[in-house]
Amino acid sequence: MKTRSDQKKEEAMGQAVSDEPAHATLNAGEVQERIAMRAYELYRERGAIDGYDLDDWLEAEQIIIGSEAHPERGILQ
């Protein structure tokens, strides 16, 4: 027989799992690879001008992680 505290623990664990962001289902390597590919695309779109690698990475990170958390906002390639 489950005690009241056991039931509360199970409920809390169920909520923690359901509150995870969508990108948590991908492994870190897959997310990093997608970010790297998108950052390179941004670099190419800008005319392959050097010196903006951090800007490209951060923008790509926002696009990829943001679109994973809200799939209706972006398209993953």
The candidate with the shortest Cα–Cα distance to 43, out of 60, 58, 56, 62, is: 56
Q: Give residues with Cβ within 8 angstroms of 52, minimum separation 6.
A: 43, 46
Q: Taking the complete model, does pTM exceed 0.85, yes or no?
A: no
Task: Spell out the domain ranges in the chain.
Answer: 27-77
pLDDT of residue 27: 87
Q: How far is CA 60 from CA 22, 26, 35, 41, in A?
A: 17, 16, 5, 9
pLDDT digits (tens, 9 = 90+) for 23-32: 456 788 999 9
